[in-house]
Amino acid sequence: MGSRNSFCGALFALLTLSAWPLNTLCLSNLPKPERPLLGRVSSDNEEFPAYRNSALCVDDRVEDLLKRMTLEEKAGQLFHAMLFMGPNGTLDEGSETARRNSTDFMIGEQLLTHFNLVGDITDARQVAEFHNRVQRQALKTRLGIPVTLSSDPRHHFTGNVGTGFNAGRFSQWPETLGLAALRDADLVRKFAEIAREEYLAVGLRAALHPQVDVSTEPRWARIGGTFGEDAHLTAELLIAYIKGFQGEKLGPNSVSTVTKHFPGGGPMENGEDSHFVYGKNETYPGNNLDYHLIPFKAAIAAGARQIMPYYSRPIGTKYEPVGFSFNKGIVTDLLRNELGFEGIIVTDWGLITDTVIAGQYMPARAWGVETLTELERAARILDAGVDQFGGETRPELIVQLVHEGIVSEDRLNISVRKLLREKFILGLFDNSSVDLDAAARVVGNDYFVRLGNEAQRRAYTLLTNKNDILPLRNIEPETKFYIEGFNATFLRNRNLTVVAKPEEADYALLRLAAPYGPRPGGFESGFHAGSLEFLADERKRQAAIYSSVPTIVDMMLDRPAAVPEVAEGAAAMLASFGSSTEAFLDVISGIAEPEGRLPYDLPRSNAAVEAGMEDVPFDTRDPVFKFGHGLSYVNRCGDAGNRTGH
């Protein structure tokens, strides 16, 4: 035993000394013998298998691991499940009531290694410790395949827990709509680089974003996560976004990105969302699918690693009217063959299994193939050309498909090979743990927080400013404010006076959510959909305030709003895209200045939107404000600024 260990140590030293030429002349690029040269030497040593040898080429390591895997281990790679953290950073024990498997079961029995971290991050050290516990659990499995931990967007203000999380301890930035309002690709890259550092610090190695859908249908509930209505602006900014997260080349210091939702979720029929059965259709009355592909073409050229199709089914196109991940014409013919994407394709969440989300029953989003069994749905998705099932934990279905001869193991190998390769390139097999002290030091550090706060302020978009009422400089403490939408403590901390009635005030400050039609259900209620107009009673209530006192309105535009009466009645109107109350007060007081320009048109009415075509941008009649509109404050030298225009 001793002589064998000495030999292995010497061999490892030799391989280490050979790292430079191996990196510059990869063996996988040379004509291959039956087995790779170094892999052949190392594979015979089960204490140090070839796939553990960082001196080998990635492709050689992948092939060595793949040939060792059982069918069950391969099936486990094909699922990307939700992962909850237990109390104080412990492993989650699962919940029968919540239909949630334990972490031990998913890793140890189902052999899953891809997880989406659920919940806010409020203690970076604790989350980093949880991540390390998860990785230690993965190392206990037969092959010790490390976990890839992913996340939905975490750095923006959002009220929708279904599609993102509050920033918590991470630095806090405007939504991507706010980044689009600034038209600054360098800032987007800086944001993504900072987000990458905070992700890496707690062990997040895949980003379930950017969302590059083009918001051509103003009623859609998920516009808040997009870059707006212009496909070309979206393409420009997403390149910076992907480069910021991944770097110029994917490696151990990268976060892999999942660009979504192919082929663009913007043109939803009547603006409804395809999470829900009434919103399953995506429609193209303007024959404008190519416009929605512009961002995806840019993402592929920029090195996008993973792409996620949306739930919807296409209506009125040459493609079969079935959900995009079930749709071979979309996945293989269009995305793979026509656009040339060679990376990982992962479905959106929950296409196979019915479930309950936030207390609400949610059928599988198997639109167009609802009558298929769960087994048939899984087979259909694989046949379409997809590599991984999002939000599912059903590896037994894949094993059954192979045993019954419906899907070949060679077909699984195609996808498993891609998924393993991503882990190797990210360096997870060589160092899967994170430094707890570094996590506490990096996440939410003063510099990152300052840049995020500055971006929140800059992204404010000044829509109207009658008589140059803004900024409110040199306000005296006795000046009285009537407020809605934020706590009076913020003003009192600035030595300002808050009153209870508009008629008692010198100014009114209203922070308003954009109008929407409330929906039922624990999950569905988080989606702001339906009407873009305020109800008549709310319009009347606001009008009484506008007529009583000069009113400054900050409208939080998670999607376009049809509110001409606000633009007409308010003394000043601002649009914001994820910002703190402190940011709002700094902007109206002149401590900071609004620099944003609208990332979409603001329509005049619901009727104007209904008359437009879901897939065509900028086609609503007589918008109140057009894409690119944004005013500047009059500067102290007396020159007015106006940045209206494209």
246 and 256 in contact (C-beta within 8 Å)?
Answer: yes
Measure Cα distances from 308 to 112, 274, 387, 402 in Å: 19, 14, 10, 25
> Are 482 and 508 in contact, with CB atoms under 8 Å apart?
yes
CA-to-CA distance for 176 and 163, rounded, in angstroms?
A: 13
The Cβ of residue 201 has, within 10 Å, a number of other Cβ atoms equal to: 25
C-beta separation of 438 from 91 below 8 A? no
Paired tokens of 210: 């950017």
Rounded to an integer, what distance in angstroms lies between the CA atom of residue 634 and that of residue 590? 11
Contact 605, 217 (CB under 8 A): no
| C-beta neighbour count of 441 within 10 angstroms | 13
List the structure tokens of 167: 């920033």
Residue 567 token pair: 């633009």
Beta bridge partners of 211: 260
Residues 6 or more apart whose CB falls under 8 angstroms from that of 50 comprise 36, 38, 39, 42, 43, 56, 60, 61, 64
Please give the helix or strand (H or E) that residue 574 lies within, else none: strand 572-576
Residue 549 DSSP symbol? S
The answer for residues whose C-beta is within 8 angstroms of residue 287's C-beta and 6 or more apart is 615
C-beta separation of 175 from 241 below 8 A: no
* Short-list 620, 252, 268, 237, CA closest to 428: 252
| HEC-encoded secondary structure of 514-550 | CCCECCCCCCHHHCCECCCCCCHHHHHHHHHHHHHCC
493 burial via Cβ count (<10 Å: 0-12, 13-18, 19+): exposed
Instruction: Find tokens 């659990």 and name the residue.
Output: 137
Indicate which residues carry an active-site annotation.
Answer: 348
